[in-house]
Amino acid sequence: MVADDLRFVIKSCVGEDNVIEMTPNKSNNYCCGGGGGFLQSGFTDARRQYGKTKFNQIMETGADYVVTGCHNCHAQVHDIGHHFGAHYNTVHIWTLICLSLGILGPNERAYLGDDLRDVDVFHPETALY
Amino acid sequence: MSESTIKIKGKKESTFLDKAKGIVPEGGNLNLCLTCGACASGCPATGLEDMDPRKFLRMVCMGLDEQAVKSPWVWMCTMCQRCIYVCPMKIDIPQLVFNARAEWPREERPSGIMKSCDMALRNDSNSAMGTAPDDFVFVVEDVLAEYQESQPEFKDMQAPVDKEGAFFFLNQNSREPVTEPDEMVPLWKILHLAGVDWTYGSKGWAAENYCLFLADNQCWERVTRVSANQADELGCKVFLNTE
């Protein structure tokens, strides 16, 4: 099952103890509200109200990082975090994989928080910012 | 949950329901609702526009086509399918929502979704941002050359476009090449280190499909076929959708 495969990858990157599941999860999880065209529909208030369910779920975990599966989810989870005043970071799985392999350059870290931005930087001399 | 009571004024034939049943696979089990509310209780869209999945389905079953189909709520359900997952009768409410969207005159559908669809129809990229194939190829080649040089451990890394016979055909959300090209690189690195045989297509490279969300069947099929045809022309074995 692909959900378990992805959990295996994330646990391998950050360590089993650092992975916190949301409740409910997998097929029983709540949609973040970015999909189905909602992000482009113009119904911004409704989209954020929808996203509050996911936001509450994220806050319950107390996690510092949320891994999202696609661009729609990334944009929505990032937006509701900002909108509702949380401080979690929203990342793609490729960022975690490359960080854990020590091959994540300084310009590939747009979504890492301050705690990880300077950790194990690959070719730090190429930093543009 | 709804605060107002639905009043039924006499008998009315549900033309929308009959139509939907003809389109939805297996009829979508649309007549089998036990009214248990499992769908509504776990739906993040419950309460928006004074609507929820159970109410929507009941209204359609009772022939209140106009009120149900025309509710802006059909654009607020993301069709995530959790309601099917928890439904004891496996009723396909999301498909009903999709078909309700398709009932709207095209020009009355949310303009942001419509414009993103129209952008994708402008050229063979399929990009909701209207980016042309040449621009995509230029960005990929430019970013790749920059990283091959600045990170010599990856001097042999490739980001192929239109590579004949590649095993995987990979697509890419437009936002990366257009607004944050450095975000493409970590994925390339992983594919390189894993020895994966992959390619982008100059045609159909964009992963997003707003024509699908617009419920514009003709256009979303067209967009999808551009990608599928390109993967076929190149002889790729597996289509990898990253969106």
Per-position DSSP letters for B11-45, written without gaps between them: ----HHHHHHHHHSGGGGGTT------HHHHT-TT
For residue B223, list chain A residues with Cβ-Cβ distance below 8 A. Answer: none
Do both B203 and B92 map to the same domain? no
> What letter does residue A17 receive in the DSSP assignment?
G
Q: Does A16 have pLDDT greater than 90?
A: yes
pLDDT-based confidence at residue B8 (cuts at 50, 70, 90): low
Do both B168 and B99 map to the same domain? no
Which residue on chain A is closest to B97 by alpha carbon? A36
Do both B48 and B160 map to the same domain? no
Picking from B229, B32, B197, B73, the residue whose alpha carbon sits closest to that of residue A38 is B73
pLDDT value for A115:
96
Do both B215 and B144 map to the same domain? yes
B2 domain residue, yes or no: no
Do both B118 and B235 map to the same domain? yes
Edge-to-edge strand ranges of the sheet holding B238-240: B198-199, B168-170, B238-240
Decide: A38 and B78 in contact? Cβ < 8 Å. Answer: yes
Q: Does A42 have pLDDT greater than 90?
A: yes
pLDDT value for B2:
65
DSSP B173-198: -THHHHH-GGGGHHHHHHHHHTT--E
Secondary element (H or E) of residue A99: helix A93-101
B19 touches chain A (CB under 8 A): no
Taking CB atoms and an 8 Å limit, are B113 and A28 in contact across chains?
no
Taking CB atoms and an 8 Å limit, are B190 and A94 in contact across chains?
yes
B116 domain residue, yes or no: yes
β-strands B198-199, B168-170 pairing: parallel
Taking CB atoms and an 8 Å limit, are B76 and A50 in contact across chains?
yes
Taking CB atoms and an 8 Å limit, are A41 and B112 in contact across chains?
yes
pLDDT value for B11:
62
Instruction: Give the number of beta-carbon pairs within 8 Å between A and B.
Output: 117
B8 domain residue, yes or no: no
Substitution target from A12, A31, A67, A126 for chain B, most B beta carbons within 10 A: A31
**Residue type (1 letter), B232:** D
pTM here is 0.93
pLDDT in tens, A29-39: 999 999 999 99
pLDDT-based confidence at residue A43 (cuts at 50, 70, 90): very high
CA distance B48 to B72: 9
Taking CB atoms and an 8 Å limit, are B44 and A72 in contact across chains?
no
Do both B60 and B150 map to the same domain? no
Which residue on chain B is closest to A74 by alpha carbon? B243
B7 domain residue, yes or no: no
Of B51, B75, B104, which marks where a domain is finished? B104
B164 domain residue, yes or no: yes
Within 13 Å and on the Cβ side, how many CA atoms surround B128?
27
Name all contacts of A101-109 with Cβ < 8 Å and 24+ positions apart: A101/B189, A101/B193, A103/B151, A103/B153, A103/B154, A103/B189, A103/B193, A104/B186, A105/B147, A105/B150, A105/B151, A105/B182, A105/B185, A107/B182, A108/B182, A108/B183, A108/B185, A108/B186
CA distance A105 to B189: 11
Counted domains in chain B? 2
Taking CB atoms and an 8 Å limit, are A49 and B48 in contact across chains?
yes
B196 touches chain A (CB under 8 A): no
Substitution target from B39, B43, B75, B212 for chain A, most A beta carbons within 10 A: B75
Do both B98 and B117 map to the same domain? no
Decide: B202 and B136 in contact? Cβ < 8 Å. Answer: yes
B182 domain residue, yes or no: yes
Of B88, B104, B120, which marks where a domain is finished? B104
For residue A33, list chain B residues with Cβ-Cβ distance below 8 A. Answer: 44, 78
**How far does the CA of residue A86 sit from the closest CA of chain B (Å)?**
19
Taking CB atoms and an 8 Å limit, are B49 and A46 in contact across chains?
yes
Do both B172 and B228 map to the same domain? yes
Picking from B26, B18, B75, the residue whose alpha carbon sits closest to that of residue B49 is B75
Q: Quote the domain boundaries for residue B214.
A: 111-240
Give the gyration radius of chain B's Cα atoms: 22
Do both B235 and B129 map to the same domain? yes
Percent of chain A at pLDDT exceeding 70:
100
Compute φ and ψ for B200, nearest 5 degrees: -85, 170
User: Going by C-beta distance under 8 Å and a sequence separation of 6 or more, which residues neighbour residue B56?
Assistant: B68, B71, B73, B74, B77, B93, B96, B97
CA distance B188 to B183: 10
pLDDT in tens, A78-96: 999 999 999 999 999 999 9
Secondary element (H or E) of residue B240: strand B238-240
**How far does the CA of residue B11 sit from the closest CA of chain A (Å)?**
33
B225 domain residue, yes or no: yes
CA distance B206 to B184: 13
Selecting from A28, A51, A94 the residue whose C-beta is nearest the C-beta of B85 gives A28
Do both B144 and B220 map to the same domain? yes
Taking CB atoms and an 8 Å limit, are A123 and B113 in contact across chains?
no
B47 domain residue, yes or no: yes
> What letter does residue B169 receive in the DSSP assignment?
E
Q: What residue segments make up the domains of chain A, in order of their start?
A: 2-126
Do both B119 and B189 map to the same domain? yes
* DSSP helix/strand/coil, B238: strand
Decide: A106 and A22 in contact? Cβ < 8 Å. Answer: no
B61 touches chain A (CB under 8 A): no
Of B59, B86, B104, which marks where a domain is finished? B104
Which residue on chain A is closest to B150 by alpha carbon? A126
pLDDT in tens, B211-233: 999 999 999 999 999 999 999 99
pLDDT in tens, B94-142: 999 999 999 999 999 999 999 999 999 999 999 999 999 999 999 999 9
pLDDT-based confidence at residue B26 (cuts at 50, 70, 90): confident
Do both B39 and B133 map to the same domain? no
Among positive and negative, which fits the CA dihedral B62, B66, B69, B72? negative
